[in-house]
Structure 1
Amino acid sequence: MNNKWRIIFTSLTASVMLAACGTSDADAEKDATDPAIEEPATPETDVEESTSTENEAEIETDAEEETSEVSMEDAVETASDEQDYSMMVLPGYKLTSEEPGRDTLYFEEDSETFMRIETMPKDDESYTFDELYTNMEELLTASSDGETPTEITEEANLPQADSITSVKGATVESTEGYFTGYVMEHEDKLVRVTVYAKEDNEHMKEFKQMAATIK
């Protein structure tokens, strides 16, 4: 601010202060006792309280969602009785050998919700990775009474682990429920898992996470 505007601003400020000082005490008392002058109303707090309640509800909901997230920290490493692999199994699930070369990991509260697991050594050469995936698509089609499977292209929807060098998956929906299959390639083996879930498609996240731990 230059000197000219500083002088003008200072003069105006001084004038306002002198005018304020010149106001009579009587006027001040009159203003203080005049019944026509109402006290300012107390601000309403309903809106603030409502907003606060909504924020608390959102925080509680977020906390519940975080609590319901699947945690593999509680999983226990379990070895297959019949095949050459082990995996992390969450509480509430059980791994059992169905027949040579085929195991079942099922949800204990509902054994019709399960994941079938098949592994084979890569040097066996009975299937290549692509052949095993094609065969899996055929299996999904047969399981869903002829419905065409859709390939899973989002990485987030596929099992992910450092030991998995390649992975492909497909899913199909039918009146029988949801069927999802993954083919995973490891350094020493090929793994195919097929998940059978009901119409609400529950437990898919858990099955996918456990499938990623097969080694």
Structure 2
Amino acid sequence: MKKSIYQVGAVVILSAFLAACNTDTDEPTTSNAANEEPAETEEVQNEEQPETTETNETDESDDASSDQQEEATETSEETKAEQTDKADNTTLTYISNGQPFEEKVVTSTSDEMNYTIQHFENYTLTSEEPGVDSLLNNADEATSMQIEVVQKEDVTFDQLKESAKETISAIAPDSTKDLDLASTLEERKEISNIVGYEALLEDEKVVKVVIERENLFVTLTIYDNVQADLTDAFLQMGLTIQ
């Protein structure tokens, strides 16, 4: 009987011992799991870090793009200002009574015909009749210029040249002359051809000039007098027609 009790007691003690051993074995496992969690957290943080960097790079790129747009806008505004300033300060030089003169010009567009002209500020462009405009000298009504502009498919340069010569000859058969305009062709490359004729009647002058440009013909009829001598002034304005 005592032996049976002893055996039972030994079994209980052994069971308690084994239970204690199992408890000691589980604790390190729990501890290792706890220790591994920070490592996983670090890995997640490391994976998230590049996204922050990318965001910063995107922000910097946006800022750079914004700066470039601002610079482009400023440059565009400066260019427009320069163009406006240049347009406001455009001048033409002409010879009158042997003296050179330089005056500021403005740009006008024909109401009836498809062209523009740069003329002095005290001159006015007006439509006289279909196909004919007049450039009037506000300070002297006796001096003016008629302007006729036609497209190249409608007529030839030789036809306009012959018509101009006949008109001048009819005004003053005994006092006409050809104008020497060779220097104009050398100075203004946009002009393909040019001829001019002058009729002198007492102190009045009538001048006909035919100009050929790339896409059109221009015929100028200048009414001048010896005292004013504005033929070259009108011619320089007429050469800007385009």
* TM-score of the two chains, using structure 1 as the length reference: 0.61
| Cα-to-partner distance string for 1:18-39 (whole Å, 9 max, x where unaligned) | xxxxxxxxxxxxxxxxxxxxxx
**Other-structure match for 1:90:** 120
Question: 1:188/1:209 Cα in 2 relative to 1: closer, same or farther (>3 Å)?
Answer: same
Question: 1:173/1:160 Cα in 2 relative to 1: closer, same or farther (>3 Å)?
Answer: farther
**Other-structure match for 1:151:** 178
Distance 1:159 1:198 in 2: 28
**Other-structure match for 1:70:** 101
Distance 1:186 1:157 in 2: 13
Distance 2:186 2:106 in 1: 18
**Other-structure match for 1:189:** 216
Name the Cα RMSD after superposition.
2.3
Preserved CA contact (<8 Å) 1:160 1:212: no
Among 126, 151, 167, the residue aligned to 2:194: 167
Match of 1:76, SS state, is: strand
**Other-structure match for 1:51:** none
Preserved CA contact (<8 Å) 2:204 2:224: yes
* TM-score of the two chains, using structure 2 as the length reference: 0.55
How far off is 1:148 after superposition?
5.0
Q: Which 4+ runs in 1 deviate beyond 3 A? A: 156-160
Distance 2:186 2:113 in 1: 20
Among 160, 170, 177, the residue aligned to 2:204: 177
Preserved CA contact (<8 Å) 1:115 1:193: yes
Structure 1 spans left out of the alignment, 5+ residues: 1-64
| Cα-to-partner distance string for 1:150-201 (whole Å, 9 max, x where unaligned) | 1112424789533211111111211261111110111111110011101325
**Other-structure match for 1:20:** none
Q: How many residues align?
A: 145
Among 113, 130, 137, the residue aligned to 1:100: 130
Structure 2 spans left out of the alignment, 5+ residues: 1-95
**Other-structure match for 1:214:** 241
Preserved CA contact (<8 Å) 1:178 1:196: yes
